[in-house]
Amino acid sequence: MNLKGKNIVIFGLGVSGMGALRFLGDKEAVLSLVNRGNPNSWNEYNEIKDSFGAVHLFAQDHEGIKEVFNKADLVILSPGIPREHELLSGISAPIWSEIELAFQFSKAPIIAVTGTNGKTTTVSFLDHLFKSLGKRVFTGGNIGVAFCDHIRSGEKVDYILLELSSFQLESTFDFKPEVGVLLNIFPNHGERYSNNDDYAKAKFNITKKMDEKGSLIFDSGNKQIEKWGNSFCGRKTPIDTSNAKGIIEHLSSMFSLSNYKLPGLHNKINLDFCLEVLNSLDLLEGNIEALQKGIDSFSGVAHRIEYVPSNEKFEIYNDAKSTNWDATLTAIESMKELNRDLVLILGGKLRGQNDLPPERAKEVFVKNVKKVLLIGEAGNYLEENLSDWLPCFNKENIEAAVSELREENFGGVLLLSPAFPSFDQFSNYAKRGEAFKSLFSV
């Protein structure tokens, strides 16, 4: 693909926008960068001016900005900006994600993983297992380094492993992974999608250009996913996530789980998906010993039911990555193995949709949670709506919640699993998790 002289608009900064900018800066395209606020106020302004002096910079409310989009040959859209944005209305140029742009220049086989929950753990685990087999792998997408940065580097790898969000998948067109993985779908991103069907359709884009040579691994325990997965034209591997006994028996028939460090059934499901990916690539048979070492040595990922060492009397787990009810309910249920009183820190930015827990949550909370300490914008709302059946108390912030437990000499388990986005008090979930962990010393 020759981009020389093409008018390309990058709409939105962040990891993907800057990755696209660095990549396109080498392609002799005519670049315009559009973002919120005066360009002088952008965090990336100095880097852009120092390294890409010829780039045209615009605030998205700049007079005449619509004409910039109308003249574009291609728009690279940040995943945080919806395709329905008024500046994109009526333009003739294709609108790509940074993932699509990088794909156009990629050569190695791609494994693409999506789903509501478990993406980061599964992708990180796969990365670890690939390396246990001596494979060279680039891991990125919705985590870590932008896909475009990898392509620009020219690094040769055996596999490209991508975690993909629904936002990224919305703007893919020719994107064609060798292996597609859909872990699950739960109601999420009510701020972006008017219903769960629209959210699911974005996830289903993962197979849009896959053919009979491709492999799809999917959750057949979800009827919506099962119907879609069974219509796939290539190799299909359904995993019935509702059959806990079957999954554990399947894993145990190949590997010992005695040294497996990740708590909860959901992490055994994640492992099963990982192994089926390796099987689809003919990397399972003959590699049992190396993979056993990889399984035994994987300790999980930051901010996803992460054990936090400390000198406190209570045990601490950081699940700051949880931004929806299903992730939090999964985290709560994984704590059963500890058999101690559980206090949950819950809350964050209200979504405007699915802010109250699903019907099954009441049983999970009543059986497993001693009390809930509420934080953030959702605090008052949750206290008003849940306190008739759940002992919950609005503490407003993480620091106040932890202080209460110290004062009462609590000796059980503290779990931060917010179930809501972090943007009311933190720039992202990782900042929320780091702030939580910083409260404890070893």
pLDDT by residue for the chain (442 residues), tens only, comes to: 899 999 999 999 889 999 999 999 889 899 999 999 999 999 889 889 888 877 899 999 999 999 999 999 999 999 989 999 999 999 999 999 999 999 999 999 999 999 998 999 999 999 999 999 999 999 999 998 999 999 999 999 999 999 999 999 999 999 999 999 999 998 767 677 667 788 888 899 999 999 999 999 999 999 999 999 999 999 999 999 999 999 999 999 999 999 998 888 999 999 999 999 999 999 999 999 999 999 999 988 899 999 898 999 999 999 999 999 999 999 999 998 889 999 999 999 999 888 999 999 999 999 999 999 999 999 999 999 999 999 999 999 999 999 999 999 999 999 999 999 999 999 999 999 999 999 998 7
* pLDDT the model gives residue 199: 87
Half-sphere exposure of 247 (CA within 13 A, CB side): 23
DSSP code of 148? H
The beta-strand segments (E) located in 319-370 are 342-347
Closest CA relative to residue 319, chosen from 330, 296, 141, 309: 330
* Euclidean distance between the first and the last CA atom of the chain, given in angstroms as a whole number: 53
* pLDDT the model gives residue 362: 95
3-class SS of residue 52: coil
Closest CA relative to residue 348, chosen from 379, 388, 314, 385: 379
Cβ atoms 65, 87 nearer than 8 A:
yes
Q: What contacts 62, CB < 8 A, 6 or more positions away? A: 34
Query: Domains plus CATH for the chain?
Result: 7-96 (3.40.50.720), 100-297 (3.40.1190.10), 306-437 (3.90.190.20)
Q: How far is CA 171 from the centre of its chain?
A: 17
Burial of 416 (0-12, 13-18, 19+ CB in 10 A): buried
- What is the residue whose two structure tokens read 């985290």? 331
* pLDDT the model gives residue 194: 67
* pLDDT the model gives residue 426: 96
CA distance 417 to 97: 30
Phi and psi of 68, rounded to 5°? Answer: -60, -45
- What is the residue whose two structure tokens read 């787990």? 317
* pLDDT the model gives residue 353: 86
Closest CA relative to residue 228, chosen from 185, 263, 177: 185
Cβ atoms 56, 32 nearer than 8 A:
yes
DSSP code of 298? -
